[in-house]
Structure formats: structure tokens, C-alpha cells
Amino acid sequence: GQQLNQSPQSMFIQEGEDVSMNCTSSSIFNTWLWYKQDPGEGPVLLIALYKAGELTSNGRLTAQFGITRKDSFLNISASIPSDVGIYFCAGNQGAQKLVFGQGTRLTINP
């Protein structure tokens, strides 16, 4: 099935650093979403993008819907300990379901 290639797979950073991760596909997507999963919990929606070129912020998080509609990125500025977790990108191609990336595991050293 269709897959999203998410990178990096893991990140180890210092508190206060900025973080950048991205998601790419060989196919066009109509919607891009970014989720965060805390340990032992289900993913929670962070940002949803519905138009090519759209740039959306949610606090320290900023995400963009790539102009080609085949990619998206998520930036986190000035990371804090509670940013630790797994971040997933997801995309929709007009069907009734989302396709998810493999996830980026973020670890922060205080």
C-alpha cells in the first residue's frame, strides 16, 4: 500500500534546540496531518494542513504542506522536555482513511 517516508527515524537533542522533521511520498496527498504520541497513549492531532503551500503554527510548532503536495515538514522551536515522544505524519488522498509515516522518536537531554 501507499507509504509515507518519514525522517529522521529518531532524534537526540538538547533542551532548547530547534527540531525539524519531514515526510515525503511519491504520490500526491490532499491533506497532511501531524500527530504526537506520548508513551502509553494514543496519537494526538497537532496540526492539520488542507492546501498546498499552507503554513500553519500551533504554539512552538510550525508545519507546512509542500507545494508539490508530495511532502510536509514539522518544526519545533526551543524544545522542552514535554516535547519527548513519537511524531507521526499522516496523509489523505481523498479516501476514507489516512496513511501514516513510520514515526520520528524525539529524545531530549536536559
Interface with other proteins (CB under 8 A), residue from 14, 82, 97, 109: 97
| Per-residue binding letters, 25-64, with other proteins (x by CB under 8 A) | -----xx-x------xxxxxx--x----------------
Do strands 104-109 and 10-14 pair parallel, antiparallel, or not at all (unpaired)?
Answer: parallel
Say which amino acid occupies 51: K
Query: Nine-digit cell at 109?
Result: 537531554
The answer to whether 96 contacts other proteins (rule: CB under 8 A) is yes
What are the percentages of helix, strand and coil residues in the chain, rounded to 5?
5, 55, 45
Q: How far apart are CA 50 and CA 92, in angstroms?
A: 10
The answer to whether 103 contacts other proteins (rule: CB under 8 A) is yes
What residues line the site for other proteins (CB under 8 A)?
1, 6, 9, 30-31, 33, 40-45, 48, 88, 92, 94-98, 100-103
